[in-house]
Structure 1
C-alpha cells in the first residue's frame, strides 16, 4: 500500500468505528418518537427488543468474525460487515412497523459486530513497515469511546430536530463513502493458514453469549431472578459454555484457541478489558439516570454531560504519541488508566442530591482521561503479543470480553442498587413520588448509587492490580506462517 492508501484506509476505518458505536447509543434517545410513529398503543413493550436485538446479534458474531479474518483475510470480512451494516441501516430507516425495525436492527447488529472488531484488525495491518507501534489502533479505541459518549446526545438531537429515521439514514452516505474508500485503498496481507472454520464452536459461543445477555437484560427487570424463564436461560448459558470449552480443547481449529490464554499479555489483557466493560456500563448508564431522575435534566440535555468524557479521551489520544516516544509502554498506560479511572469513580461516589454539576463534569473528564488510556492501549497490547496468524481471533476476543463484561456489570450493579435502596416504594416508582416522599426516595437512591460507584472503583482497583502483573518486556509475536498479499 502507498502512504496515501494507508491514510485513506485508516480514515475509512475510523468512520466505520464511529458509525457502529453511535448506533449502539443513538437509538436509546429516539425510542419515544419511534414508538409514537410506529406503534403508539403497544410499541413501548417491545422497545427493549429494539435495543437488545442489536447488541445480541453483534456479540454473537464476534468469535466467528475473528476466525473469518484469519482465514479469508481482514479486507474481505471488513467489506462484508460494512455492507451488511449499511443494508440493515437502510431497512431500519424505511421500517413501516416495530417488528420490521427489530429484525432490521438484528441485521444491522450482525454487521456492527464486525465493524467494532474487524476494523481494529485492519488498522493493525495499516502500520508502516518496520514501525514498532501502530498509533492507529490507539486512535481507533479513542474514537470508539468518544462515539459512546456523543451517541446519546446525537440521538436526542435528531429526534428533536429531525425524523428518528435519520438516526439510521445518516449511516448511508458516510458508510458508502467508507466502503468505496476501503475498496480502493485496502491491500492487506493474508496468512497461509488452515481454511477450516469451527462453525459448531461459533454456534456454541453465540448461544452462550446470547443467553447470558438475555439473563442480564431480563433478570430482575422483566422477570424475577428465580423465575423459570431466567433459570432456564441461565441453564442453557452454562451448558453452552461448558460445551464450547470442551470443543475448544478437542477440535483441531478452535474458534478461540486455548493457547492464546497461555500468553500473559493476552490472558491479562482479556481480563482487564472485561473489567473496563463493567466500569463503562456504570459510568454511562448510571450517570445519565442520576442526571435525569435526581437533577431533573432533560434526556436530550443529559447526553451533553458526557462530552467532558469524550474530551478526556481526545486529550489522551493527542498526548499518547508523545508519551510513547518518551518511553510509555502499553503496560504503563494500562496501569495509569486503571488508577485514574478508579480515582474518578471515587469522586463520583461522593455525589449527593445537590452536588455541583461542575464536580460531576470534572469526574467525567477524569473518567475520559482514564478510559482513553485503556481502550486503545489494551487493543495494542493484545495485538503486539498475539501470534500473527491469530491476530483476528485475538482482536475480536478482546471486544467479546468487553461486551460480556458490560452485560454482567449492568446486571450486577442494577441488582445491587435495588437491594441497597431503602426509601419509599422501589427504584422503579421514584419518578411518581411527590413531596416529602420524593425527597426521601431520592436521598436513599443517591446513597445506594454512591455505593455502586464505590464498587466500580473497586473493580478498577482490581484492574490496576492485574495491570501491575503485566510483563515489563514486550514479546515479539510469532509469525507462524508466510504472508501473502490479497487484493
Structure 2
C-alpha cells in the first residue's frame, strides 16, 4: 500500500469505530420516543432488550471474529462485518414493532462485534515495519472509542428530539456504504491462501458462555431475584459452558482462543487489566449519570453533557500518549500512569458526589477520569498486539475486546448490586426506584442514603483500578526479554 492508501485506511478504521461505539450507546437516550412510537402500552418492559440484544450478539461473535481474521484474512472479515452491521441498521430503522426492532438489533450486533475488534486488527496490518510497537492508529482508535462512549447518549438525544429515532439507525447507511466502497479499493492486506479448519464447536461454547453470563448480569437482582430458577439456571449454564469451552480449547486443532496466549505475560496481564478497565468505564459513565439525575435533579437530556469533560480528557490523553509512544515511550508507562490516574479520579468522585457539592467538582473529576482512561484505551491493545505471535494477531486483538465486554457486564452487575443493597439497608422506601416517589424529609433522607451508597460504588471503582495498577507494575519492561515467558514475536508458520 502507498502512504496515501494507508492514511485513507486509518481514516476508514476510525470512522468504523465511531459507528460501532455510537450504536452501542446511542439507543439509551432514545428509548422513550421508540416506546411511544412502537408500543406505548407494553414497550417499557422490552427496553432492556434493545441494549442486551446488541451486546449479546456482539460478545458472542468476538472470539470467532479473531479466528476468522487469522484464517480468512482481515479484509474479508472487516467488509463482511460492516455489511452485516448495515443490514441490521436498515432493519432497525424500518422496524414496525418492538419485537422486530429487538431482532434487528441482534443482527446489527453480529456485525457490530467485528466493527470494533476487527478494525483494530486492520490497523495493526496497516502499520509499516518501522511502526510496529508504536501508538500510531491504535491510540487514535482507543480515544475515538472512549469519546464515543461518553457522547453517544447525548447524540442519540439530539437525533431523537430534532429528527426521528429511526435516524439513529439510518444515519449509519450512507457512512457505512462509503466505508465499504473505500475499503474495497484502498485496503490491501495480507491474505491467507491456506485455509485452516474452524472450531465451530468452540465458537458455539464461547458464545453460550458469554451470552449466559451477560444475561446473569442483566437479569440478576433486577428482573429476577438472584435465587430464582432462571438466574441460577443461567449461572449453571455459564459455568458448564466455560468448562466445556476450556476443555475444547485444549483439544481443537485450531482453537478459537488458544490457551497458549496466556503463557505470554503481557497478554495474560493485559486481558485482566482490560477487563477491569471495562468494569471501571461502565461504573464511571452509568453511575455518574444516575447520581446526577437522582441526587441532583439534572434532566436526563442534560445529564449526558456532563460527560463531555470526560470525552475531552480521553481525546487529549489519547492523542498525547499516541504521539509519545511513536517517539519511543512504552505502552507499559502509559498503562501504569493511566490505571493510577483513573484510580485517583474514582477517589475524587467518591469525595465530591455529595447532595450539594459543586457540580464543577464533578466535571473536574470526570476530566481526570478521561485523562486516565484515554491513556489506557489504545495502549493496552497496542501492548497485546505487539506481544502476540503474528499468526495469532486476530485472536489476541479480539480477545482483549472480549475481556473488556465481559468485565463491563460484570462490573455493571456487581456495582448495581452493591448500590441496591446499601440503599435497601439504609434508605427509605426499600429500593432506589421508590426514591422518586418520596417527598419532604423522606426524600432528603433517601437522597442522603443514595449518595452514601454511590460513594461506596466509586470507592470500589478506585480499589479495582488500584489493583489494575499493581498488575501493570508486573508488566515486563521494554528491553527486558528475560521478563517474558516466551518471545513476543514468533514467525508465522510456513504452509507445507
Q: TM over 0.5: same fold?
A: yes
What's the offset of the Cα at 1:94?
0.8
Q: How does 1:67-82 map to 2 (within 5 A)?
A: 67-82=67-82
Q: What does residue 470 of structure 1 align with?
A: 475
CA distance in 1, matches of 2:323, 2:114: 31
Q: Is the CA contact (8 Å cut-off) linking 2:135 and 2:321 kept in structure 1? A: no
Q: Is the CA contact (8 Å cut-off) linking 1:273 and 1:378 kept in structure 2? A: yes
Q: What does residue 256 of structure 1 align with?
A: 257
Q: Is the CA contact (8 Å cut-off) linking 1:248 and 1:258 kept in structure 2? A: yes
Q: What does residue 365 of structure 1 align with?
A: 367
SS where residue 471 of structure 1 aligns? coil
Q: Which residue of the other structure, out of 434, 439, 454, is the alignment partner of 2:444?
A: 439
CA distance in 2, matches of 1:18, 1:174: 10
Q: What does residue 390 of structure 1 align with?
A: 392
What's the offset of the Cα at 1:482?
4.9
Q: Is the CA contact (8 Å cut-off) linking 2:75 and 2:187 kept in structure 1? A: yes
Name the CA shift for 1:269/1:41 in 2 (closer, same or farther; >3 Å): same
Name the CA shift for 1:134/1:196 in 2 (closer, same or farther; >3 Å): farther
Q: Which residue of the other structure, out of 416, 440, 443, is the alignment partner of 1:414?
A: 416
Alignment of 1:345 onto 2:349: no
Q: Is the CA contact (8 Å cut-off) linking 2:19 and 2:172 kept in structure 1? A: yes
Q: Is the CA contact (8 Å cut-off) linking 2:135 and 2:325 kept in structure 1? A: no
Name the CA shift for 1:224/1:476 in 2 (closer, same or farther; >3 Å): closer
What's the offset of the Cα at 1:192?
5.8
Q: How does 1:132-143 map to 2 (within 5 A)?
A: 132=132, 133-143=134-144
Q: What does residue 24 of structure 2 align with?
A: 24
Q: Is the CA contact (8 Å cut-off) linking 1:191 and 1:389 kept in structure 2? A: no
Q: Is the CA contact (8 Å cut-off) linking 1:192 and 1:481 kept in structure 2? A: no
SS where residue 222 of structure 2 aligns? coil
Q: What does residue 224 of structure 1 align with?
A: 225
CA distance in 2, matches of 1:28, 1:89: 16
Could you report, residue by residue, the CA deviation over 1:344-392 in whole angstroms, capped at 9, with x for unpaired residues?
0000001201111111011111111100111100000000000011000
**How many residues are aligned here?**
483
Per mean C-alpha deviation after superposition, the further-off stretch among 318-327 and 418-427 is: 318-327
CA distance in 2, matches of 1:97, 1:326: 53
Alignment of 1:331 onto 2:332: yes
Alignment of 1:481 onto 2:493: yes
Per mean C-alpha deviation after superposition, the further-off stretch among 297-306 and 73-82 is: 297-306
CA distance in 2, matches of 1:321, 1:48: 36
What's the offset of the Cα at 1:194?
5.2
What's the offset of the Cα at 1:130?
2.3
CA distance in 2, matches of 1:220, 1:354: 30
SS where residue 252 of structure 1 aligns? coil
Per mean C-alpha deviation after superposition, the further-off stretch among 56-65 and 427-436 is: 427-436
What's the offset of the Cα at 1:293?
1.0
What's the offset of the Cα at 1:253?
1.1
CA distance in 1, matches of 2:192, 2:336: 33
What's the offset of the Cα at 1:318?
2.3
Could you report, residue by residue, the CA deviation over 1:458-477 in whole angstroms, capped at 9, with x for unpaired residues?
00000000000000026541
What's the offset of the Cα at 1:193?
5.7
Could you report, residue by residue, the CA deviation over 1:163-194 in whole angstroms, capped at 9, with x for unpaired residues?
00011111111111111111111000135665
What's the offset of the Cα at 1:73?
0.2
CA distance in 1, matches of 2:493, 2:267: 20
Q: Is the CA contact (8 Å cut-off) linking 2:62 and 2:398 kept in structure 1? A: yes
CA distance in 1, matches of 2:174, 2:216: 36
CA distance in 1, matches of 2:357, 2:168: 34
CA distance in 2, matches of 1:64, 1:409: 24
SS where residue 196 of structure 2 aligns? coil
Q: What does residue 184 of structure 1 align with?
A: 185
Q: What does residue 483 of structure 2 align with?
A: none
What's the offset of the Cα at 1:297?
1.1
CA distance in 2, matches of 1:82, 1:201: 24
TM-score, with length taken from structure 2: 0.96
Q: What does residue 87 of structure 1 align with?
A: 87
CA distance in 2, matches of 1:359, 1:190: 52
Could you report, residue by residue, the CA deviation over 1:67-120 in whole angstroms, capped at 9, with x for unpaired residues?
000000000000000000011001101111111100000000000000010000
CA distance in 2, matches of 1:279, 1:440: 28
Q: How does 1:109-120 map to 2 (within 5 A)?
A: 109-120=109-120
Q: What does residue 43 of structure 1 align with?
A: 43
Q: Is the CA contact (8 Å cut-off) linking 2:140 and 2:322 kept in structure 1? A: no
What's the offset of the Cα at 1:160?
1.1
What's the offset of the Cα at 1:50?
1.3
Gaps of 5+ in 2: 480-486
Q: Is the CA contact (8 Å cut-off) linking 1:312 and 1:367 kept in structure 2? A: yes
Q: What does residue 424 of structure 1 align with?
A: 428
CA distance in 1, matches of 2:44, 2:323: 49
What's the offset of the Cα at 1:296?
1.1
What's the offset of the Cα at 1:129?
3.1
Q: Is the CA contact (8 Å cut-off) linking 2:330 and 2:478 kept in structure 1? A: no
When the two chains are superposed, the root-mean-square deviation of aligned CA atoms in Å is 1.2
CA distance in 2, matches of 1:102, 1:465: 41
Q: What does residue 375 of structure 1 align with?
A: 377
Q: Is the CA contact (8 Å cut-off) linking 1:278 and 1:405 kept in structure 2? A: yes
